[in-house]
């Protein structure tokens, strides 16, 4: 039982083949956030085609400058329509990126807050992209009252991590933590409370250390990432896999226990 809590399946060369490999590697669910309205149809279709694939809808902060003026209206309408879809989980990928230079930060902030409000109105979790903006992202969550979701590819401090976990979120770790130079990430992975951890591949981005240059990162890599995290915490693989999958179900499962009725996901959604 393994959940890839962050995978851009819609950007992979052969998504169907990648899903097949992931299932062979022991994954039970793949969570696919959308990045812009042009991808809403693709992520929805992938979830429809594969029982183990789930999706979110959102406007990624790094896409802020290529979004059309009506992008937020398109998202709102698509998300309200998706409320009846058992494969729809929430609002993502949203957030703030103050690392990439020259992005329109005012619009990014406005879109972030508007999407948090949408998640609150829909009673859905969020999947967050956070780069050089952990405090600002946390402030938005507190202001709008969001208590469920994932800060993916987390790369902040121990104190910032604690604040997000106290807010009800889980932190996503994947390929970046497998590099020997990533000492801060590795100490987070080792010391954070287990209930605050979820695993991700972020495929095709952030390849783990063992992939050759140019080799495509795919969701089946999650099995090896899980082994890496389990051994760095001194846990059995099964224990780590079970805990992180239940965490993902807890923070992403829609209200009403829809996940618990699915055979593809762990039934423990408390």
SS3 176: helix
Contact 5, 32 (CB under 8 A): no
Tokens representing 2?
């393994």
- In whole angstroms, how close is the CB of 103 to Zn ion at the nearest point? 16
Cα gap 254→170, rounded to integer Å: 15
Closer residue to Zn ion (CB): 8 or 148: 8
Count CB atoms within 10 A of the CB of residue 8.
22
Shorter beta-carbon distance to Zn ion: residue 137 or 230: 137
Residue whose CB is less far from Zn ion, 27 or 150: 150
The stretch among 11-19, 91-99, 115-123, 136-144 that binds Zn ion (CB under 5 A) is: 91-99
Residue nearer to Zn ion on the CB measure, 132 or 261 = 132
CA distance 177 to 31: 20
- Minimum separation from the CB atom of position 234 to Zn ion (A): 29
Instruction: Work out how close the CB of 8 gets to Zn ion at its nearest, in angstroms, rounded to a whole number.
Output: 6
Nearest to 5 by CA among 229, 260, 219: 219
Q: Which of 65-73, 89-97, 158-166, 249-257 is the region at the interface with Zn ion (rule: CB under 5 A)?
A: 89-97
Q: Smaller CB distance to Zn ion: residue 97 or 220?
A: 97
Q: Are 100 and 43 in contact (CB under 8 A)?
A: no
Least separation in angstroms between residue 7's CB and Zn ion is 8
Footprint on this chain of Zn ion (rule: CB under 5 A)? 93
């Amino acid at each position: 039982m393994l959940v890839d809590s962050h995978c851009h399946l819609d950007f992979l060369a052969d998504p169907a083949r990648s899903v097949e490999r992931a299932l062979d590697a022991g994954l039970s669910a793949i969570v696919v956030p959308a990045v812009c309205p042009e991808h809403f149809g693709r992520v929805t279709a992938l979830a429809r085609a594969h029982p183990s694939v789930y999706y979110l809808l959102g406007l990624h902060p790094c896409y802020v400058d290529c979004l059309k003026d009506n992008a937020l209206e398109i998202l709102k309408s698509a998300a309200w329509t998706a409320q009846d879809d058992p494969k729809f989980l929430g609002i993502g990928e949203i957030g703030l990126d103050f690392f990439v230079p020259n992005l329109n930060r005012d619009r990014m902030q406005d879109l972030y807050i508007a999407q948090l409000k949408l998640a609150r109105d829909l009673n859905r979790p969020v999947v967050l992209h956070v780069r050089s903006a952990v405090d600002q992202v946390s402030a938005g969550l507190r202001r709008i009252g969001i208590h469920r979701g994932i800060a993916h590819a987390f790369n902040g401090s121990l104190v910032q991590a604690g604040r997000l976990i106290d807010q009800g979120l889980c932190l996503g770790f994947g390929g970046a933590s497998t590099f020997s130079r990533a000492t801060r990430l590795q100490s987070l992975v080792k010391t954070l409370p287990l209930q605050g951890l979820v695993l991700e591949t972020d495929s095709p981005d952030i390849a783990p250390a063992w992939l050759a240059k140019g080799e495509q990162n795919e969701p089946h890599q999650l099995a090896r990432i899980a082994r890496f995290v389990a051994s760095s915490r001194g846990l059995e693989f099964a224990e780590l896999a079970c805990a992180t999958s239940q965490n993902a179900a807890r923070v992403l499962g829609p209200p009403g226990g829809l996940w618990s009725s699915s055979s593809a996901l762990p039934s423990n959604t408390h």
